């Protein structure tokens, strides 16, 4: 993984910059000591590490504004970070850039139950939103697996999904307003704290969401709240083959049902979790589907019947339906423990998140089996089947020379297979540094240029999170003059990172 | 610009669109980009030297019902699209309005591209989301004649900037879209509407709030003017047959008076009327407004605006979060400014849906945004269309 060459000149200014930034945020909120910076070296993807120049923890949006204005004037790069749970290296530090951490911006600013909106600072952990409105019978729907730790600001940056986004949508579908600071220190406010507050505006909010911290630093988020569904039940369905399980996914959706969640686990995952949950699975089971249905009791009962019928028709070996909340939690525990269970089987694992059209599931899963043979690495599958979001778990041993590289190559092959099947490189983890160099497989140079032109509109100096998402720098200054006719590859001489 | 003076270009392939744009850019022409032109009256009047009509791009690229996705040319009409989906028991949850009744055009010719460009969402917005929430991917041509794509066909996608959202609602000022990929959903099996006499605005709003707090999946809450001139509250319940029956009971127990129940086709027709603002029945010289606001602020806002003579007839949708109204055409310059000021005071967004060209040119059909946002919008526009050849003035007002 190659990153832009750090500037030695800026790295030499570390102490002077720390002094200046302390004037903005206060003495204790700039971390310059090497030992104290070390925990910030990586995010959720530990394979990539870099020491940040400084770690800065602002206490208000006004401080964010001053920091960015200062860094802009000095030409200092800035990497935004929430809790650092990114699984694509989105918050990977730069040695010549400051890490701007939102941990202190962690207040729920307002809960407006009547208009069903909450206003939040970016450092609020996802789970805290639902906790803050639970007593009102409301919740915040997007629930990434990292929700205990990951922040709403990070969720906005990565357009986070989660188990329930099949029915309820991803982060972008739940954001009503954003306040953000551009790299120049200019504050912009988009949308507002009610449904429809962004009507008639250019959808800059839409492009900021999922922009992986490259366009602006979000300082306030207005989210929509939903009533907590009256009841949720989960159906567990086991199948003798992966193909049958995949076919059942399509059949459920084809029957006109949008489950709240629809998850797939293969035999390897089941074997790994069975130890943890002290439950055995039928020996003929090759794959298990978990289908959650929510709504009113009457509605859910009706849907449970339909899904059970579909499962039978699709040849399910066994179908179990939760009748109590405890049973529902127990059935889900196998899925929730899947990743830690696999972690016990191998020293290290690597997980990507390509997304494909549902009907391509068998095709891509078969290709994965071939790749496993090719690379000599074992793998397991546990993923969001309902929306075709794959999470292959590639097992390797970092202590074995060459194993990590093989795992990475395996992962890249899976992502390429996803794109070739009409899908995308990332469903919810983001591109970050991890999938950056694969972007040219999904997009043409023209597509990427168009995206980078937008970067130039927001951050022409390219100081905000550079080296992420795109395999080349923008060269904003030159774009204005460039024009090459269709089909001609632009900038063949651009240095790739 | 009058249509007779303007050369009209009607390509039917993406490559032709690209060639036309490249030629226009080289020749220094500007382009009025439309679908079938049924909503030229929406947004600001455009002054362009050529007209680029995309209605000929009306092919379905693929429709995969099991994957809940369709990709089609922007010229496909919404009517064709909706009937194709209906054959598979699916629908567009954002319920795109045509508003062609306002503009005296043919609603059957309104296109998918127009729905995306205007980003207008119908009554089900409160439950299912807006147009932007269903646009998964686009292909289009930028102002330099480059064909680009963005997004994809999967619901989950964090791969590069979401340019699909950016072009949604940009009224064709960023790119001439050629195809769009849309997420669709299974249509509810059953639908009914509970109708009851309206009370005061505040009481009706409070009822909406109470209903929305329940997890019943209510996909329509409006207060409209009935045929007899009286106001009524309408509540749409959708879902499975047993689910709808159950929700109906819960709601009936909650309502102050026993409602009249309207089912299936009749209910659908009722909501089509709401979607198309039929009950406003604006007179020829009246202006039509669409104001988004926090539902809790709606009663006081409407009262004040009526007293000030800025609202003539009106109705409320989105559980109180949107007010559609007519304004008398007696002194539109004065009233438009006053009405917008009233909206701005409470953070509401007042959009002009219909007005004479002079009014929309002067005040802008879209509510004004802060200077910094306007500048960023302008830079973003330049990122797609540096020479400003697409729909000049459609979204912006010259200072």
Chain A within 8 Å of B383 (Cβ-Cβ)?
A: yes
Same domain, B270 and B289: no
**How many structural domains are present in chain A?**
4
* pLDDT reported for residue B3: 43
Residues 6+ apart with CB under 8 A from A130: A139, A140
Q: Is A25 a member of any domain? A: yes
How many Å apart are CA B336 and CA A443, to the nearest integer? 46
Taking alpha carbons only, the member of B277, B103, B289, B89 closest to residue B190 is B89
Last residue of a domain, one of B275, B293, B322: B275
Question: Cβ separation of B165 and A172 shorter than 8 Å?
Answer: yes
* Domain of residue A291, CATH code: 3.30.70.3450
Q: DSSP assignment, residue A1?
A: -
**How many structural domains are present in chain B?**
3
Same domain, B136 and B42: yes
Q: Looking at the partner chain, which of A196, A388, A453 has a beta carbon nearest the beta carbon of B383?
A: A453
How far is residue A95 from each of residues A51, A99, A238, measured CA to CA in Å?
5, 10, 49
Same domain, B44 and B160: yes
Task: Indicate the SS3 state at residue A363.
Answer: helix
Q: Looking at the partner chain, which of B165, B239, B369 has a beta carbon nearest the beta carbon of A206?
A: B165
Same domain, B163 and B16: yes
By the 8 A CB rule, do B216 and A273 touch?
no
Which string of DSSP letters, residue by residue, matches A67-81? HHHHHHHHT-EEEEE
Prediction ipTM score: 0.96
* pLDDT reported for residue A475: 73
By the 8 A CB rule, do A224 and A115 touch?
no
Same domain, B183 and B201: no
Chain B within 8 Å of A303 (Cβ-Cβ)?
A: yes
Same domain, A121 and A221: yes
Bridge partner list, A348: A396
Residue window 388-417, chain A: list those with CB within 8 Å of chain B.
388-389
Same domain, A219 and A242: no
How many Å apart are CA B24 and CA B7, to the nearest integer? 12
Last residue of a domain, one of B220, B247, B275: B275
* Domain of residue B373, CATH code: 3.30.465.10
How many Å apart are CA B151 and CA A206, to the nearest integer? 12
Chain A within 8 Å of B159 (Cβ-Cβ)?
A: yes
Q: What is the pLDDT of residues B253-270, one digit of tens each?
A: 999 999 999 999 999 999
Q: Is B364 a member of any domain? A: no
Same domain, A130 and A170: yes
| Farthest CA pair distance, chain A | 70
How far is residue A131 from each of residues A137, A194, B167, measured CA to CA in Å?
10, 20, 35
Same domain, B89 and B111: yes
Last residue of a domain, one of A333, A363, A394: A333
Question: Cβ separation of A296 and B168 shorter than 8 Å?
Answer: no
How many Å apart are CA B351 and CA B3, to the nearest integer? 25
How far does Cα A39 stand from its chain's mean position?
Answer: 21
* Domain of residue B326, CATH code: 3.30.70.330
How many Å apart are CA A314 and CA A303, to the nearest integer? 16
Question: Cβ separation of A172 and B240 shorter than 8 Å?
Answer: no
Q: DSSP assignment, residue B362?
A: H
Q: DSSP assignment, residue A422?
A: T
Instruction: Give the mean model confidence (pLDDT) for residues B18-28.
Output: 97
Q: How far is A120 from chain B (nearest CA, A)?
A: 18
Instruction: Give the mean model confidence (pLDDT) for residues B129-141.
Output: 98
Stated as kind and residue range, the H or E segment containing A248 is: helix A242-254
Q: Is A384 a member of any domain? A: yes
Same domain, A268 and A196: no
Q: Is A455 a member of any domain? A: no
Question: Cβ separation of B154 and A355 shorter than 8 Å?
Answer: yes
* pLDDT reported for residue A490: 43
More confident: B37 or B398:
B37
Q: Is B362 a member of any domain? A: no
Residues 6+ apart with CB under 8 A from A110: A117, A118, A119, A193
* Domain of residue B204, CATH code: 3.30.70.2860
Question: Cβ separation of B159 and A387 shorter than 8 Å?
Answer: no
Q: Is A448 a member of any domain? A: no
Same domain, B24 and B139: yes
Chain A residues with CB under 8 Å of B66 CB are 250, 253-254, 358-359
Same domain, A130 and A214: yes
Same domain, A364 and A393: yes
Chain A within 8 Å of B170 (Cβ-Cβ)?
A: yes
Last residue of a domain, one of A333, A358, A378: A333
Q: Is A459 a member of any domain? A: no
Residue window 148-177, chain A: list those with CB within 8 Å of chain B.
158-159, 161, 165-166, 169-170, 172-173
Same domain, B250 and B115: no
* pLDDT reported for residue B227: 85
Question: Cβ separation of B295 and A115 shorter than 8 Å?
Answer: yes
Q: Looking at the partner chain, which of B132, B215, B386 has a beta carbon nearest the beta carbon of A229?
A: B215
Same domain, B198 and B305: no
Q: How far is B231 from chain A (nearest CA, A)?
A: 23
**Blockwise average pLDDT, block size 10, chain A, 497 residues:** 91 98 98 97 92 98 98 98 95 98 98 98 98 97 93 98 91 98 98 96 98 98 96 97 95 93 95 89 94 95 96 96 94 88 90 92 95 96 92 93 94 96 95 96 96 96 96 73 42 52
Cβ-Cβ pairs closer than 8 A, A with B, add up to: 275
Q: Is A480 a member of any domain? A: no
Helices (H), B312-370: 332-345, 357-363
Last residue of a domain, one of A333, A364, A391: A333
Q: Is B199 a member of any domain? A: yes
How far is residue B196 from each of residues B207, B221, B230, B280, B287, measured CA to CA in Å?
12, 12, 11, 19, 29
Task: Express as a percent the part of chain B with pLDDT over 90.
Answer: 96
Question: Cβ separation of B212 and A188 shorter than 8 Å?
Answer: no
Which residue from A minimizes the CA distance to B155? Answer: A387
More confident: B6 or B294:
B294
Chain A residues with CB under 8 Å of B16 CB are none
Same domain, B6 and B140: yes
Q: How far is A354 from chain B (nearest CA, A)?
A: 9
Same domain, A116 and A220: yes
* Domain of residue A77, CATH code: 3.30.43.10
Bridge partner list, B138: B150, B180
Same domain, A176 and A216: yes
Residue window 77-116, chain A: list those with CB within 8 Å of chain B.
112-116
Same domain, B386 and B251: no
Bridge partner list, A307: none
Question: Cβ separation of B162 and A303 shorter than 8 Å?
Answer: no
Q: What distance, in Å, lies between the first and last C-alpha atoms of chain A?
A: 8
**Phi then psi dihedrals of residue A304, to 5 deg:** -60, -40
Same domain, A60 and A134: no
Q: What is the pLDDT of residues B185-221, one digit of tens each?
A: 999 999 999 999 999 999 999 999 999 999 998 999 9
Question: Cβ separation of A387 and B129 shorter than 8 Å?
Answer: no
Same domain, A171 and A133: yes
Last residue of a domain, one of B275, B302, B328: B275
Q: Is B98 a member of any domain? A: yes
Q: Which domain holds residue A13?
A: 8-101
Burial annotation A263-275 (CB, 10 A radius, 16+ → b, else e)? bbbbbbbbebbee
Helices (H), A6-60: 8-12, 14-25, 34-37
Q: Is A479 a member of any domain? A: no
**Phi then psi dihedrals of residue A123, to 5 deg:** -85, 5
Chain B residues with CB under 8 Å of A483 CB are 144
Sheet with A54-56, edge to edge strand ranges: A30-31, A54-56, A97-101, A77-81
The encoded tokens of residue B66 equal: 């099991």
Same domain, A175 and A143: yes
Q: Is B363 a member of any domain? A: no
Chain A within 8 Å of B230 (Cβ-Cβ)?
A: no
How many Å apart are CA B244 and CA B262, to the nearest integer? 13
Which residue from B minimizes the CA distance to A192? Answer: B347
Q: Is B325 a member of any domain? A: yes
For residue A344, with 0-12 CB atoms within 10 Å meaning exposed, 13-18 middle and 19 or more buried, which class applies?
exposed
Chain A within 8 Å of B202 (Cβ-Cβ)?
A: no
Same domain, A127 and A211: yes
Say if residue B79's pLDDT is above 60: yes
* Packed helices A61-74 and A14-25: angle between N→C axes, nearest 10 degrees: 150
Residues 6+ apart with CB under 8 A from B261: B192, B193, B194, B195, B248
* Domain of residue A142, CATH code: 3.30.465.10
Q: Which domain holds residue B311?
A: 278-357
How many Å apart are CA A165 and CA A260, to the nearest integer? 7
Chain A residues with CB under 8 Å of B245 CB are 298
Chain A residues with CB under 8 Å of B168 CB are 203, 206
Q: How many CB atoms lie within 10 A of CB A461?
A: 16
Q: How far is A77 from chain B (nearest CA, A)?
A: 20
Q: Is A141 a member of any domain? A: yes
Question: Cβ separation of B295 and A114 shorter than 8 Å?
Answer: yes
Same domain, B205 and B321: no
Chain A within 8 Å of B86 (Cβ-Cβ)?
A: no
* pLDDT reported for residue A496: 53
């Amino acid at each position: 993984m190659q990153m832009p060459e750090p500037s030695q000149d800026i790295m030499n200014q570390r102490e002077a910059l720390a002094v200046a930034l302390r004037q903005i945020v206060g003495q204790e909120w700039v971390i310059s000591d090497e030992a104290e910076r070390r925990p910030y070296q990586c995010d959720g993807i530990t394979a990539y590490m870099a020491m940040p120049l400084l770690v800065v923890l602002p206490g208000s949006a006004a401080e964010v504004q001053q920091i960015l204005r200062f860094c802009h004037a000095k030409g200092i790069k800035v990497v935004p970070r929430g809790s650092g749970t990114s699984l694509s290296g989105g918050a990977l530090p730069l040695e010549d850039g400051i890490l701007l951490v939102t941990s202190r911006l962690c207040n729920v600013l307002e809960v407006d139950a009547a208009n069903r909106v909450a206003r939040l600072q970016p450092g609020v952990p996802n789970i805290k939103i639902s906790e803050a409105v639970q007593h009102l019978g409301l919740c915040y729907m997007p629930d990434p697996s990292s929700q205990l730790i990951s922040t709403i600001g990070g969720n906005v940056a990565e357009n986070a999904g989660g188990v329930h986004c099949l029915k309820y949508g991803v982060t972008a579908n739940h954001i009503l307003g954003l306040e953000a600071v551009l790299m120049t220190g200019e504050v912009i406010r988009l949308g507002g704290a009610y449904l429809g507050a962004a009507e008639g505006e250019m959808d800059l909010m839409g492009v900021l969401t999922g922009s992986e911290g490259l366009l602006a630093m979000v300082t306030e988020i207005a989210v929509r709240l939903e009533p907590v569904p009256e009841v949720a039940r989960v159906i567990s369905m086991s199948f003798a083959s992966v193909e049958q399980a995949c076919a059942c996914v399509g059949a459920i959706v084809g029957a006109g049902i949008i489950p709240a969640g629809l998850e797939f686990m293969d035999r390897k995952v089941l074997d790994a979790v069975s130890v943890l949950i002290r439950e055995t699975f039928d020996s003929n089971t090759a794959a298990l589907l978990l289908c959650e249905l929510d709504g009113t009791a009457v509605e859910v009962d009706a849907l449970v019947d339909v899904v059970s019928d579909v499962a039978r028709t699709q040849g399910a070996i066994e179908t179990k339906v939760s009748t109590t909340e405890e049973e529902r939690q127990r059935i889900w525990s196998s899925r929730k423990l899947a990743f830690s269970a696999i972690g016990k089987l191998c020293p290290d694992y690597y997980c990507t998140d390509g997304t494909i059209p549902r009907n391509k599931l068998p095709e891509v899963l078969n290709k994965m089996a071939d790749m496993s043979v090719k690379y000599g690495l074992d793998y397991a599958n546990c993923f969001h089947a309902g929306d075709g979001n794959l999470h292959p778990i590639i097992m390797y041993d970092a202590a074995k020379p060459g194993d990590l590289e093989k795992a990475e190559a395996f992962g890249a092959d899976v992502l390429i297979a996803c794109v070739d099947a009409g899908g995308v490189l990332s469903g919810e983890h983001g591109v970050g540094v991890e999938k950056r160099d694969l972007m040219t497989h999904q997009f043409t140079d023209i597509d990427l240029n168009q995206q980078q032109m937008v970067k130039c509109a927001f951050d022409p100096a390219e100081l905000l999170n550079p080296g992420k998402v795109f395999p080349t720098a923008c060269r904003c200054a030159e774009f204005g003059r460039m024009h090459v006719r269709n089909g001609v590859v632009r900038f063949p001489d651009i240095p790739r990172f | 610009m009058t249509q007779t003076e303007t050369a009209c270009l009607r390509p039917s392939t993406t490559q032709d669109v690209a060639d036309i744009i490249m030629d226009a850019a080289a020749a220094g022409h500007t382009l009025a980009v439309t679908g079938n032109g049924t909503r030229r009256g929406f947004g600001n009047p455009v002054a362009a030297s050529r007209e680029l009509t995309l209605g000929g791009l009306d092919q379905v690229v693929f429709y995969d019902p099991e994957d809940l996705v369709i990709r089609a040319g922007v010229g496909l009409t919404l009517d064709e699209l909706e009937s194709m989906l209906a054959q598979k028991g699916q629908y567009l949850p954002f319920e795109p309005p045509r508003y062609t009744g306002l503009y005296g055009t043919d609603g059957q010719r309104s296109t998918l591209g127009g729905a995306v460009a205007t980003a207008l969402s119908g009554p089900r917005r409160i439950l299912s989301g807006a147009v932007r929430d269903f646009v998964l991917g686009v292909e289009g041509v930028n102002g330099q004649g480059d064909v680009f794509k963005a997004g994809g066909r999967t619901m989950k996608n964090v791969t590069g900037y979401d340019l699909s959202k950016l072009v949604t609602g940009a009224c064709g000022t960023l790119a001439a879209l050629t195809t769009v990929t849309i997420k669709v959903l299974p249509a509810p099996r059953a639908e009914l509407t509970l109708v009851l006499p309206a009370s005061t605005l505040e009481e009706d709003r409070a009822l909406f709030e109470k209903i929305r707090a329940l997890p019943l999946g209510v996909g329509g809450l409006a207060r409209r003017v009935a045929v007899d001139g009286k106001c009524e509250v309408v509540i749409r319940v959708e879902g499975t047959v047993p689910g709808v029956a159950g929700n109906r009971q819960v709601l009936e127990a909650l309502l102050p008076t026993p409602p009249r129940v309207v089912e299936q086709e009749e209910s659908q027709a009722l909501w089509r009327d709401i979607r198309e603002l039929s009950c406003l029945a604006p007179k020829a010289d009246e202006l039509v407004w669409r104001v988004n606001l926090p539902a809790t602020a709606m009663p006081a806002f409407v009262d004040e605006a009526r007293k000030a003579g800025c609202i003539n007839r009106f109705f409320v949708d989105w559980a109180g979060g949107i007010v559609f109204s007519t304004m008398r055409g007696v002194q539109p310059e004065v009233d438009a400014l006053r009405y917008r000021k009233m909206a701005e005071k409470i953070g509401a967004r007042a959009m002009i849906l219909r007005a004479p060209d002079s009014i929309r040119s002067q005040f802008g059909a879209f509510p004004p945004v802060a200077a910094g946002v306007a500048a960023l919008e302008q830079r973003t526009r330049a990122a797609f269309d540096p020479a400003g050849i697409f729909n000049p003035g459609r979204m912006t007002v010259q200072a």
